[in-house]
Amino acid sequence: MITSAEIKKKASRKYTDYLRDVAAGKTFQPIEIPCDKKASDTIAEYQKEFNDIRSLSKEVKGYGYTIDWKTVKTKMLGTQGLPSKIKFETAEDFERFLQKVKEVNVFRKNVALINGKFPELQCWIEKYPLKVIENSEYWSDILKILNYFSKNPQPQLYIRELPIEVHTKFIEQHKAVIGELLDIVIKEYINTNEKEFEKRYNLRYDESMVRMRILDGTLAAEFFSGLDDITIPVSKFLRLQIPISKAYIV
């Protein structure tokens, strides 16, 4: 006979799909747990299994799973009752059994909060409901970041220069989830060939430097205020437009 621990394990496996239905606003449908295991061969073991499964049922606890019993005649036990169907008839039964009532309530609020600001994230929420839960305490700050990038999709600033009211290390600590969301919110502006966060989302980053010595004094005076030994980031070096005919690369 199936045990209460096995029911808990099987119910937990259905939790993610349940959250997807919650996010989609679907009407709750009873959740059924397979229970095709046979009873033990001795009366003592059977009684132990019977008491175990019944102890956490809605009949005893007032919430949780409902058991439909069937009468079975066996050679070893005689006529006994065995569960034919185990199901959670209401969302409350399911949530309370898994001790997820508070978590689901917060999940509902965060789904509403996210959709209120960025409805285009609905598909992401339904695909990754556990990520919504894992970041439940951070959504206010995450949405501030998404809001900034939606208005400034190519900031060209260092992460810690961004004028967003979040902890200075917040973006660096949550790059993975923020990146997934930015791929949706500013998808027209991302550099899809880049994997590094800063390069992908048009931010400044620590670059390699190029050192130049200007051997022509006229060029140095006209384009570099007389400076003839200069070190600049690679990206700025690539944008230089100066009329040179010969360069020595060392």
| Total domain count, the chain | 3
Residue type, 34: P
Neighbours of 70 (CB within 10 A): 10
- Give me 141's structure tokens: 């700050």
Which pLDDT does position 77 carry in this prediction?
A: 61
178 and 221 assigned to the same domain: no
Q: Tell me which residue has tokens 């070096």.
A: 237
95 and 107 assigned to the same domain: no
169 and 106 assigned to the same domain: yes
Tell me, letter by letter, the H, E, C secondary structure of 51-64.
Answer: HHHHHCEHHHHCCC
Q: Domain range holding 159?
A: 102-200
Which pLDDT does position 78 carry in this prediction?
A: 62
Which pLDDT does position 75 carry in this prediction?
A: 66
- Give me 38's structure tokens: 């046979």
Give, rounded to a whole angstrom, the gap between the first and last alpha carbons of the chain: 79
Q: Tell me which residue has tokens 């990146």.
A: 179
37 and 88 assigned to the same domain: yes
Which pLDDT does position 168 carry in this prediction?
A: 86
Which pLDDT does position 46 carry in this prediction?
A: 78
Give the bridge partners for 88, in sequence order: 31
50 and 120 assigned to the same domain: no
pLDDT, tens digit only, all 250 positions of the chain? 789 999 999 999 999 999 999 999 999 999 999 887 776 667 788 788 888 999 999 999 999 999 998 877 776 666 677 788 999 999 999 999 999 999 999 999 999 999 999 999 999 999 999 999 999 999 999 999 999 999 999 999 999 999 999 998 999 999 999 999 999 999 999 999 999 999 999 998 887 889 999 999 999 999 999 999 999 988 888 889 989 888 899 8
Which pLDDT does position 161 carry in this prediction?
A: 94
Give the bridge partners for 79, in sequence order: 73
Choosing from 39, 70, 99, the residue where a domain stops is 99
Which has the closest alpha carbon to 31: 97, 114, 125, 120? Answer: 97
Choosing from 65, 99, 133, the residue where a domain stops is 99
10 and 86 assigned to the same domain: yes
Choosing from 77, 99, 121, the residue where a domain stops is 99
